[in-house]
Structure 1
Amino acid sequence: MSSNQNSPRDIQAEGALKAWGFLIVLALIWGSSFILIKRGLEIFSPGEVGAFRIVTAGMVLLPLSLPRLKTLNRRQVQNLIIVGLVGSFIPAFLFAKAQTQLSSSLTGVFNAMTPLFVVVIGALFFSARITKRNTVGLIIAFMGVALLLIVKEDSIFGTFADINSYAFFVLLACACYGVNLNIIKYRFVELKPVAITAISLLMVLPAASIYLFAFTDFSFKLTQVEGAVEAASYITLLGVVGTALALILFNVMVKVATPVFASSVTYFIPIVAILWGLLDGEVLLIGHYFGIVAVILGVWIGNKK
């Protein structure tokens, strides 16, 4: 073997390094999504934040979506509309609404429930098998969620009367993601993930655009309200980088690593979200940390192969 050729061990190490690089970048991108939503909400309404996020993501992916439209059949178009709604459109609005009364750090923690919702939705509606490990993970994670919902400032835990109901917007978004990923798994064997996301965003782009520019004050705020341009830039970053670019990076990571390794990004996103929240002055109480550990532990157990 010549000196300028890489050995199999070197190639394997290089692949592992790339995989970890993608994992770290994705965790930083997706973990930062919640602080970007928070910044957008300083000027814009939840509806405006959600719609503009979809518009920016859909527009930047037009070069990938438009050329593929002519290859689709009617059934694929119908399924892609559903994917666009439950995978992007509805969650974008739910997350923005949730963060009007929920910290960005805790929103990031609740978002970690997505893999378990994938399991539950798959078992309920797609004849997927749910294992004992899945069940144990679900119980632990939902106990963590319950703890996070009843934490009070004057005691470690409050009562269910103290529940912050806005957390349910995030859980509903996670359920939407669960439906979305199962539809992709069972109904889109023939389409690649990048194409699915790009075209599904195209399907909901007109609705988001019409709502944003015809039924909200977004355009007025953007031109007349101080700080609106900066807030819009945060949402643009959220749509372009947090949705479009992150999707491409995730699919590249799946190719250079494994799906199991790629799914481990779920455990790092809450950490990044919490760090951003703490840097922004958000306060986490002792009870929050108990709940956070339980959620992440439950997701790890339930998602472990």
Structure 2
Amino acid sequence: MLSQFLMLALAWGSSFLFIKIALEGLSPSQVVLGRLLAGAMALLAVTAVTRQRLPRDPAIWGHLAVVSVLLCVVPFSLFSWAELHVPSGLASIYNATTPLMTLLVASVALPEERPNRSKLAGLLLGFIGVVVVLGPWRGLSRGEGLAQAACLLATLSYGLAFVYLRRFVSPRGLPALPVATVQVGLGAVIMLVLAPLTATDPVHLSWPVVLSVAALGIAGTGLAYLWNTNVVAAWGATNASTVTYLTPVVGVALGIAVLGESVSWNEPLGAVVVVAGIALSQGRISFGHRSTTDTASAALPAARTGPGRSKL
């Protein structure tokens, strides 16, 4: 199971590198279309091999269409556009704020998950980390500032999607694989419908571009979901969520090693602060005495998130 956990961290962490390479020959919308088509085909193949049935209830398909927009179409598009202006490693650092955004949305949308002191402290610490990553004292160009805002909007969209899943889909107890297959498949259909309007730029294909899109779809959008499901089943949702700590490390390391990207001192420092905020909000670290009630409450969101955690 450790091998699947490490492959999951590598798949999600390297996604930002593959986006950057794919953008050398494709527009952001074309990258999203390609990865969703590849991911849908991979998941459909696994669903067929395992002989699992897709859900038939039209209401479920409607809910999954909403999830597809929030979990695939919107964040994938925002990250792809953002990487036209910011390094892939920086985008991977911002992706690490997904658990914080999920907690923020859940605190507002789910009354039963009102934050305790540890969660509030974790949120505050995490968003201090975001400010450190942003580095407003350095000054930002308009494009760079908008790109970093797009990264944060993407993780907010992830947070909205996870809470929506938890509220409208998870209680139905559907198998994870068919849910993922419908979700990614609907995302591919949506992007195909939008393609005449959003994906009309000239295409310049090369082997690095083609292989990057294939890796994004098959590994980062398809197989990674299965690996995550297996890790959650074996280790539990809370332990599985620690992959969030590794993906920015992978993303930054690959950006430096493969693309020669530079890293400002504030970016890894801010990433460490963000991860500390996540750990505090999840009850992994604490300051002072915590009651049993606080401990149980801190574990609740992770336990309810289930197999469908952040993926990019």
Q: 1:158 aligned to 138, 143, 150, which one?
A: 138
Deviation (angstroms), 1:49: 0.9
CA separation of 1:213 and 1:55: change in aligned 2, threshold 3 A: farther
The aligned residue for residue 232 of structure 1 is 210
Pairing 1:37–2:22 present = no
Letter in 1 for 2:273: A
1-structure distance, mates of 2:23, 2:6: 27
2-structure distance, mates of 1:72, 1:121: 29
Pairing 1:198–2:181 present = yes
Letter in 1 for 2:251: A
Q: Which structure 2 residues correspond to residues 1-305 of structure 1 after superposition, within 5 A? A: 18=1, 20-63=2-45, 64=47, 68-69=53-54, 71-127=55-111, 128-150=113-135, 157-158=137-138, 164-188=145-169, 189=171, 190-212=173-195, 216-217=199-200, 221=203, 225=204, 227-279=205-257, 280-304=259-283, 305=299
Secondary structure at the counterpart of residue 262 of structure 2: coil
Deviation (angstroms), 1:79: 0.3
Letter in 2 for 1:237: A
Letter in 1 for 2:184: L
2-structure distance, mates of 1:211, 1:112: 29
1-structure distance, mates of 2:197, 2:58: 29
Cα contact 1:54–1:239 (8 A) shared by 2? yes
Deviation (angstroms), 1:140: 1.2
Deviation (angstroms), 1:270: 0.6
2-structure distance, mates of 1:161, 1:98: 13
Cα contact 1:87–1:177 (8 A) shared by 2? yes
**Identity %, equivalent residues:** 25
Instruction: Describe the superposition over 1:109-149 as per-residue Cα deviations: whole angstroms up to 9, x where unpaired.
Output: 11011111111111112222212111111111111111221
Letter in 1 for 2:266: G
Deviation (angstroms), 1:229: 4.2
Letter in 1 for 2:267: H
- Where do 5+ consecutive residues of structure 1 fail to align? 1-17, 152-156
2-structure distance, mates of 1:193, 1:292: 30
Secondary structure at the counterpart of residue 32 of structure 1: helix
Deviation (angstroms), 1:213: 6.4
Deviation (angstroms), 1:212: 3.6
2-structure distance, mates of 1:296, 1:256: 23
1-structure distance, mates of 2:99, 2:198: 34
Bigger radius of gyration: 1
CA separation of 1:286 and 1:204: change in aligned 2, threshold 3 A: closer
Scaled by the length of structure 1, what TM-score is found? 0.84
Scaled by the length of structure 2, what TM-score is found? 0.82
- Where do 5+ consecutive residues of structure 2 fail to align? 284-298, 300-312
CA separation of 1:185 and 1:86: change in aligned 2, threshold 3 A: same
CA separation of 1:257 and 1:44: change in aligned 2, threshold 3 A: same
Secondary structure at the counterpart of residue 68 of structure 1: coil
1-structure distance, mates of 2:147, 2:265: 21
Letter in 2 for 1:134: K
2-structure distance, mates of 1:86, 1:107: 18
Cα contact 1:139–1:298 (8 A) shared by 2? yes
Deviation (angstroms), 1:73: 1.7
Cα contact 1:150–1:159 (8 A) shared by 2? yes
